[in-house]
Each structure stands twice: as C-alpha cells, then as structure tokens.
Structure 1
C-alpha cells in the first residue's frame, strides 16, 4: 500500500512539474493535456485520476510556482541585514532572466488573467511580495537609512516593476545585461545617502 501511494504522489508531482514548465514556456493555451502527459511520462488515465482536467492541473501548477516564488523572496527579504541590503539581495539574487519570471509570465496569459481562480495565486504572491518590500522600505525610512520621502507602497511597486520589467528587457535584447542595468539603476536610486 505504501509503494502504491508513493507512486501515486510521484505521478501527480510529475504532472504538476511538467505543467509548470509548459506554462512557463508556452502559456496556458499552448499547454495541452497531451503535452503534459508526454513531458510527465504519464498516461491519460493517470492524469485524470489525479486532476479533473487541464484547468485543475494548471491551478495546482500555478499554486506551486507562486509558493516557490514566495518562499524564495521571503528567504532573502526576511533575512538579516539592513533594509537596503535586503532589497539589494532580492533584486540581485540569481535568476534565469532570459526565461523570464514564471509568475510574471502568467500575468501576460489572457486565459489565466480572465479566470479569477487561476489568477488568484498570482495576485496573492505579488501582493505578499509588495507588502514585504513596503515593510522593509518603511523600516529603512523610519530608521533614517533610506530617504525619508520614500512612500513604502510606491517604492515596493517600483521594485517589483523594475524586476519584472528587467525580465522583459532581457528577453527583448537576448541579454541579461538589460536586467542587470535596470536593477543597478534602481539600487542607485535607493542607495542610502551619506550623512552631511
């Protein structure tokens, strides 16, 4: 019984992982059940045993992707160091910028955005990211480390927009240098100023 349950979980996991990759590469419309089954090495019966259909599987994949993004951002933003150092660590953390952000790419998928349930994990993870960043900016502003005129919510939105826009620039130019340039510019704007 244990090995059967284990195999069931492994098949479900392979299906979710295959769907995550395909959503990132092809989007929702381009992610067919047949492509998922082939990528996962699973049959149609296995897929429909675990998931009601493509939408149900996509929702599981989107939730997992959002959860991983949330955990990765949290590990950096909730770590030690100054407010600026945590923001810097977040924007400079290692990313595959030429592939784009797996969550950010979902925001450009009309089918995901049109479906409130598929869109919800995307909205939630971006909302949590912005809230974390706003809290860090507020902390840095209140301690005098960051410019006192910074609006925490607007600055958090700017950080998220810079990272997401950096992905777009990198993909458009075929070079991670465009992403690097965007985040370096942001960091220069946020850099603590020496006391006079």
Structure 2
C-alpha cells in the first residue's frame, strides 16, 4: 500500500490520517493503524508516545494538506468572486466529507485541547483567508459596501462544511453542489 521509500513514522501518520477520516478517533485503534501502515507491533510506541501523540501528528498533517488545497484556488489571479468560486467548486471527495470538519463531530477530539487545536486553527485560518479576499473585493469595488467580510467568510466556510453534511446524508454530491451554487448566486447578487 505504501511505497518502500516511506519511513515507518510516515506510514504510521498517513495510515492514521486515513483512519481518522474514515472512522474517527475512537474507531481508530492502534491495531488498525499498524495493519494499515504495514508496521510491526510496537512501531507506534517506538516513534510516538502513543495513540494521542500519533493522532496529533496525523491531524496536523491533515490540517497542512487542507490549507494547501484551499490556498491553491484562493491565491489564483482574478477577482475576489472568481477566487471564491474556484475554492467552492474545486474538486473534492464530497461524499467522504471534510477530514478536518469531520473531527469536530468526534467527542474525543473536541474534549482534548491538544487534538482540537489544529482543527480550530485550520478553520480559523480558512475564515480569515476568505475574509481577506472578500475585503479585497470590497476595496476593489467588486462587492456592495453592505457586504460584511467577516460574516461572509463565516457563511462560505459554513456552506462548505454544511454541504459536506448534506452530501453525505443524501449520498449525493449534488447536495454539496447545490449549496455552493446557491452561495455563489448570493455573492453575484452582492456584486457592485
């Protein structure tokens, strides 16, 4: 499953990322991690203090990857609307849900300040990044002055996260697409 060039810690982190996305924290057992990583018994404790330490490394890696994936469309040249549109319509595995957003529903992650921190930081980063783009659109006269950048950024992030939930509930990416298209229609209506 993993290339022979990956180190054992890398295989453990990647396996944990996948399992957290699929099963959540409680459903991700050390045995499942070792099996998925193709690592020997005791490998996890040789490289990490235990499951919480490995989970934290995996959540941080997932957060970095999510930020990088979001930054690509958000940093493309073009209008603020075009950049937001590119972010909303970027290719995603909608039916799997957001690997970070899903962790907010995991009680063991939420009660742990340490595990929750990279989740909070990532969602905060995304809201702030989108808020800056909306602010640019206001400053460039692209949106009407009545558009609140902070509230609009929160709406965009909530629409994406809610779109994942709706798509998973219906087992159809169309639910996500409808949410994104509805938000884009509102933003077009807010165009100056």
- Name the TM tier (shorter chain): over 0.9
1:32 aligns to what?
29
- Give 1:137 shift: 0.5
Q: Using the alignment, how far apart are the partners of 1:182 and 1:194 within structure 2? A: 19
Scaled by the length of structure 2, what TM-score is found? 0.95
* Number of residues of Structure 1 aligned to a counterpart in Structure 2: 189
- Give 1:48 shift: 1.0
1:171 aligns to what?
168
Deviations 1:129-154 (A, max 9, x none): 10010011011012111121111110
Is residue 118 of structure 1 aligned with residue 120 of structure 2? no
Q: Using the alignment, how far apart are the partners of 1:174 and 1:12 within structure 2? A: 34
Q: Give me the CA root mean square deviation.
A: 1.5
Q: Is the 8 A contact 1:147 1:192 kept in 2?
A: no
- Give 1:9 shift: 5.9
2:62 aligns to what?
65
Is residue 188 of structure 1 aligned with residue 188 of structure 2? no
Is residue 83 of structure 1 aligned with residue 85 of structure 2? no
SS at match of 2:166: helix
SS at match of 1:21: helix
1:3 aligns to what?
none
Is residue 53 of structure 1 aligned with residue 50 of structure 2? yes
**Structure 1 stretches lacking a partner, 5+ long:** 1-6
Deviations 1:36-81 (A, max 9, x none): 0000000122111111100000000000000000111112112211
**Structure 2 stretches lacking a partner, 5+ long:** none
SS at match of 1:107: helix
2:40 aligns to what?
43
Q: Is the 8 A contact 1:97 1:167 kept in 2?
A: yes
- Give 1:35 shift: 0.4
TM superposition outliers: structure 1 runs of 4+ over 2 Å: 192-195
Scaled by the length of structure 1, what TM-score is found? 0.93
Change over 3 Å in CA distance of 1:50–1:188 after alignment to 2 = same
SS at match of 2:95: coil
Q: Using the alignment, how far apart are the partners of 2:165 and 2:46 within structure 1? A: 38
Change over 3 Å in CA distance of 1:160–1:150 after alignment to 2 = same
